Chains A and B, each alone.
Chain A
């Protein structure tokens, strides 16, 4: 579920904005590290650490977005990857905060002094609430005036400029929003595992997020959630048989991309249509 939040955020970028970010895990990592580093200094309340997590990842998105969005296509993918790796290596070299080995967090954050997140069930509902909130927010965003401009810019940026939209500003805003939402998922991840590590930011993780979005179906926020669930369940299930589970998963992914363009959600709606016709 935590990854579903990040996947929904990424889908906002990739599916609606055609901005393929290969560094999205960096924002998860930043959110997680915000929690970790604050706890080292004894600040363990979510009222502080959550806003900090969001602000840090949004700020990093703003800084890197200003540069990344000057490019497009393959260059955009590469430069987001580069910024992602930069965050990864910075985290790896943070010796006071665990460096390569990561950083164990003594206890989960409190919420205004209450140990709400420490109860497993309560924590589960908090995550669920965050996911729903993210989903509803993104849904509203996509349908709004703002979202319409972003979707239009995906299909025809030149036309959008000639009717008076500064496409760059809209894409940058989307990038920052998606970064902050990934920061939210990082905040939750750090609390769930009570541990932060540079591995959260690795490019493999960014790749996994893209796979989740593709698997579920690009440009449909429901798809991103289903994709995240499907990916993690498949991983769980296949790795029970063999540690080389990716050997099986890879071809499955190729088949999905080749034969079910809309991902799992596209496949499902095609089946529903077929049944409806009898």
Chain B
């Protein structure tokens, strides 16, 4: 498909004898929220890692905005507009929440080899960073060291960092992992507001969240896409119910 934001073609990755991504073909359309669900060990995080460049696939190609990025290093992909969040919060704990986000703004602004001037006082960096924090409801916690934020707030900060990069495509690896019911509801609300502004790949275990947000759902099992379609279509697919949703929907 020519106009997809992201297109994976026959992607394959194995760790030793274990095939974690098996001839996977997958795409994301502009402004679409494409959710990937599947049991633990299905290869969801490995898939995200391959798209963001932390893990190199054995074969296959990754097209991003029409460009082959299979061999590009992680930072170059980020420069092209690919942002991600991590399943286990990956922040700079010693920096304040604002600084964490300002770093992402700075990355997009370029000129990070500037050695003069106090970065912490630059309005050009702090302004967009505050906006991103406000988007996820963290504006009041901006000056707290990121390491001291509550778990749910760290999850929101992950999201703010990714947003601050003004990405073309957002890869969200279990943004709700480990959050309580209330926090989950808040994050779903945040994502619902963001939907339509970005293209998103959402990996998530919380089925309520997935079915509330997704335009399209792909079910990943043992490195293969078992089924792909609208939330209603996937929910009704007997193979999916048998393989995965059956236990999850109890």
Binding site for B on A (CB under 8 A): 140-141, 143-149, 151-152, 155-156, 158-167, 170, 173
Quick check: which of B59-67, B73-81, B182-190 contacts chain A, the rest being far away?
Answer: B73-81
Among residues of A, the one whose C-beta sits closest to the C-beta of B95 is A152
Interfacial chain A residues near B83, Cβ < 8 Å? 162-163
- A to B contact number (C-beta, < 8 Å): 101
| B104 beta carbon closer than 8 Å to chain A | yes
Interfacial chain A residues near B161, Cβ < 8 Å? 159, 163
Among residues of B, the one whose C-beta sits closest to the C-beta of A173 is B113
Contact B165 A145 (CB under 8 A): no
In the assembly, what is the distance between CA of A143 and CA of B125, in Å?
14
Interfacial chain A residues near B93, Cβ < 8 Å? 155-156
- Using A143-B120, A156-B91 as known contacts, say yes or no to A164 and B107 having CB atoms under 8 A apart: yes
Contact B75 A165 (CB under 8 A): yes
- Using A164-B78, A164-B108, A164-B165 as known contacts, say yes or no to A143 and B119 having CB atoms under 8 A apart: yes
Contact A162 B52 (CB under 8 A): yes
- Which of A144, A162, A173 is the one whose CB lies under 8 Å from B54? A162
- Taking the closest CB of chain A, its distance from the CB of B49, in whole angstroms, is 10
* Majority SS at the chain A contact face: helix
In the assembly, what is the distance between CA of A159 and CA of B116, in Å?
24
Contact A162 B74 (CB under 8 A): yes
Binding site for A on B (CB under 8 A): 52-54, 73-76, 78-79, 83-84, 86, 90-95, 99, 102-104, 106-108, 111-120, 122, 125, 161, 165
- Using A146-B114, A149-B103 as known contacts, say yes or no to A161 and B119 having CB atoms under 8 A apart: no
Among residues of B, the one whose C-beta sits closest to the C-beta of A155 is B92
In the assembly, what is the distance between CA of A158 and CA of B106, in Å?
17
Among residues of A, the one whose C-beta sits closest to the C-beta of B90 is A159
- Which of A145, A147, A166 is the one whose CB lies under 8 Å from B75? A166
Among residues of A, the one whose C-beta sits closest to the C-beta of B79 is A164
- The list of the 7 closest CB pairs from A to B, nearest first, reads A164-B78, A164-B107, A161-B74, A145-B119, A163-B104, A159-B90, A166-B75
- Taking the closest CB of chain A, its distance from the CB of B106, in whole angstroms, is 6
In the assembly, what is the distance between CA of A104 and CA of B110, in Å?
48
Contact A163 B107 (CB under 8 A): yes
Interfacial chain B residues near A165, Cβ < 8 Å? 75, 78, 107, 112
Interfacial chain A residues near B52, Cβ < 8 Å? 162
Can you name 17 A-B residue pairings with CB atoms under 8 Å? A144-B115, A146-B113, A146-B115, A148-B95, A148-B99, A148-B103, A148-B106, A151-B95, A152-B95, A155-B94, A161-B73, A162-B74, A162-B75, A163-B83, A164-B78, A166-B73, A173-B113
In the assembly, what is the distance between CA of A230 and CA of B218, in Å?
63
- Taking the closest CB of chain B, its distance from the CB of A130, in whole angstroms, is 18
Count chain B CB atoms within 10 A of each CB in A151, A152, A156, A162 and give the residue with the most: A162
